[in-house]
Structures are given as structure tokens and as C-alpha cells.
Amino acid sequence: MTTAVVTVWRAFYFLASLFFILSAQAATRELPDFSRLVAQHGAAVVNISVTRYVQSAGFPSTTSIPATPKEPPQRDFLRHYFDQNTDALEENSLGSGFIVSADGYILTCAHVVENAREILVRLNDRREFSARVVGTDKRSDVALLKIESSSLPVVAIGDANKLQVGEWVLAIGSPFGFDSSATAGIVSAKGRTLPSENYVSFIQTDVPINPGNSGGPLFNLKGEVVGVNSQIYSDTGGFMGLSFAIPIDSAMKIGAQLKNEGKVRRGWLGVSLQEVSRALAGAYGLNNPHGALVTDILPNSPAAKSDLRPGDIVLEYEGKMVNRSVDLAPLVGLTAPGTLARFDIFRRDQGKQTIIIKLGELREEPSERPWRRERSDSQSRFGLTLGDMTPAQRKNFEIDQGAYVTSVDEGPVREAGLRVGDVILEVDGKRVSDASGFFRLLEHMPAKRSVVLRVRRGMTTLFMAFAPTN
């Protein structure tokens, strides 16, 4: 091999090595380093140990994040590594929190300190304090604690609204009692609602969260708290890739009310809502499905005393976009009762309008009442068989009109979502008195035009759209 060839090969090897080194460095730079964040802000995260008044049977409440465990393995884990009798832990639970003011106010989750007889807060420097509960709010799962100290380290508060799906986030807490444990992941989704939480729009992440993390902070890469780790989705009691955090702006507003008033007063509108489907958006003439569709208005509610009507779609609230129906309740709930709130709505055949409504105060929700079903048949048209409401049904359903659905065949009506047992109340805003009245209204509808039905299902009122084929 000539000297020239050797020189070329050496140059090629050098360039290839340099390329791989630079590529590795670039890849390393793309992965975040959380070490500085933990060092700077970990001191403001605390461990919370609670002794409860009442302890339910079964595994001790170290599973402080709500889940649905089947056969928790943590009992053997605790016994093996700590040589503790788990029965002695039956009145204890563990959680996390973070300091929001230098004079000792701490945010955590309400379920962490529920029924607490004694609360012990341990700081990062191992100092321990007895804490008192300033206030709790079960609807949002937020609690505010106070310890007697000063010049404490505090977290920096961020803006959860600026979070992007896919953005890196970090949780610091005490899973299974292991203090100052850091776990990282990304934001999986925003604006999530859970069946038991209508007034919180959760941040969903894939950050590993386990029992004991509950109440701890969720940080962005700037070292700002953007959420309070609250719940996990699990059938084992452990992390399964779905974690939910309360947005920090909501938590701080609730914390401020707990500090100033000892309780939370929420705004109340008094409506039932549903998502705007693509079919409904087309029937309304909207370019894309968005907003919150008002399906029902409670009697004597703030909405009932306003110009808002069933069938209106709320597009904006106080200048904030309402993309989905679940967005509206948290926005209204965080508004002070008595506020004159602005609603930008879309009304079918009338277009956009602005309505001002004076909000009431949210009280305890009424319990649901089961509906009794009775069937009566009439002629079948549009793949639909309807019956007139009997006096007993009208009394039981607390309505004085409507057509009762007794069967639904394959076709556009079933595809729209109509079911047996539904009661059709309106067709395109026109009152349905009985089964014959429903069919008469359909006969006068323009050909190929989508029809919007207002329907009662159980204790819920819904809207659905379909295009009659004949």
C-alpha cells in the first residue's frame, strides 16, 4: 500500500471518528440533564407523614395516589426491607408537598391529609415540623398546610398554560417513603378530565409516579412548578404510564382561597354540556367541531335567568377559547361567585352572540334519580319506532312532552347515537309534543338537510344530528 493511500485512509478514519463523536455529543445535548434542577429546587420539596383518624381495612394507605389495586405487592416490600409490621402502619400514610412561601405554607393533595389526626412534615435538610391543615378542597384535590418556620426555600411557580405536549417534565417526591426521588418523562396530553373530577383539567404525563409521590411538584425544564401530582391510572396500585397532575395555576388560586377564607367558593352556571361532534358542527354550519354545547339548563340557575338557551355552543368564556366541553367547568369554577361573566356563543341559524351572565355559587350536586322505562309502540319510520309518553312516564321523567324511543334500526338515526329509552324533546329547536308530532316535523324539513335532535337520556340531555334519508 502506497504512502498516499495510507494517508487517505487515515484522513477518512479521522473524519469518520470525528463525525461519530460530534453526533454522540449532539444526541447527548438533546437529552435533558435534570441534575441542576434537582440541586436548585429539590430543597423546597417536602415529605408528608400522616396519622389518620380512621383507617380502612386492607393494605395501609401508603398508596396515597388514588388507584384501584388488586393484590398490592408493597406489603411484602415494606416487611422485607424495613422489617416492620405492616399492621402497625395501618393508621399512617405518606405523601409529598412543596413550599410556596418562605413563612411555611405548603401545597399538597387533599387526599394525602384527609382525616388527619397528626401531620409531620420533613424537609430536605431532615428538619421535621408538625403541620396544621389550613384548608382542603376535595373537588380539586388540593390542600394547604402551614408549618411554623421562616426563611424556607420556596419553589418557582410556572405557567401550565404554556406547557406543550411532548415537553420534558420532572417530578420530585417520596414514592414509598423514599425522600427526594426524582423521575422524568414528557407531557402526554393536556385538558384531561376524570370521571370523579369535573372541575379540574388535568395534565397527563408518563412520568413514573407511585404511592407517596402524591402532592409533590411537577417541574418544567426551567425549574418552575407547572403541576401538582395527584392521580395515577392503575389496576395494581403502581405506575403504568398514565399520571395526572393538577395545573399549578388552578392549585395556586385554590390555595389562595384556602389561606384567605379557609374554603373554596366556586362560580356556578347551572347547565349540562356535551361535546360538539363533527356531525353537529356540520349541522350548525361550523367549520370544525369545537366549543361546549349546552344540552340542558337547570331551573332557577344563573343560566336560566340569562339569555342562554339549550342548543347554544359556548365558544369563549371571558376571552378564553373553549375547545372542548370539559374546558368550561374549570374556567367557571375558578371564577368568583357574583362575577358578571362574558360568554361568546354560537346559536344555530343566528350565528355568534355575546351573553353576560351573573354567576352563582356552586353547592353540593343533587343525587341522581333512576328513571323508569315503559314501552309503547307506533308506526316505524326513518328506521325509528316511537311511542307517546304515558301520564306515569311524564310524571316520573318530570317532563310534559316528548316522543319515547322504543326501537332503533340500522341507519342514520342509530349512527347519530339515538337509543331505545331516549325521549326526543325537540327537532331543530321545535318542541315535540308526541310521536306523531315528531314525524310531522321531519316531513317539513328541507331535503338533505341535517336535523338536530334534543334528547333526554336518563338524567342527561343530549344533542345529536342526522340526515333523514326519506
Residues annotated as part of the active site: 111, 141, 214
The residues near 386 (Cβ < 8 Å, ≥ 6 apart) are 378, 403, 404, 405, 406, 424, 435, 438, 439
Q: Which three cell numbers stand for residue 95?
A: 405523601
Separation of alpha carbons 150 and 101, rounded Å:
9
The C-alpha cell of 138 is what? 376535595
Q: What is the CA radius of gyration of the chain?
A: 28
The answer to whether the beta carbons of residues 243 and 232 sit under 8 Å apart is: yes
SS3 140: coil
| Residue of 185, 245, 248 lying closest to 32 (CA atoms) | 185
CB 427 within 8 A of CB 451: yes
Task: Look up residue 333 and give its amino acid.
Answer: G
Nearest Cα to Cα of residue 254 among 141, 132, 172, 131: 141
Residues 272/296, Cβ–Cβ less than 8 Å: yes
Q: How far is CA 93 from CA 47, 59, 406, in A?
A: 11, 11, 52
d(CA 389, CA 422): 11
- Cβ atoms of 84 and 78 within 8 Å: the answer is yes
Q: Are 313 and 293 in contact (CB under 8 A)?
A: yes
Q: Which of 248, 159, 173, 249 is nearest to 207 (CA)?
A: 173
Other C-beta atoms lying within 10 Å of the C-beta of residue 44: 22
| Cβ atoms of 411 and 383 closer than 8 Å | yes
- Looking at this protein, which amino acid is placed at residue 153? P
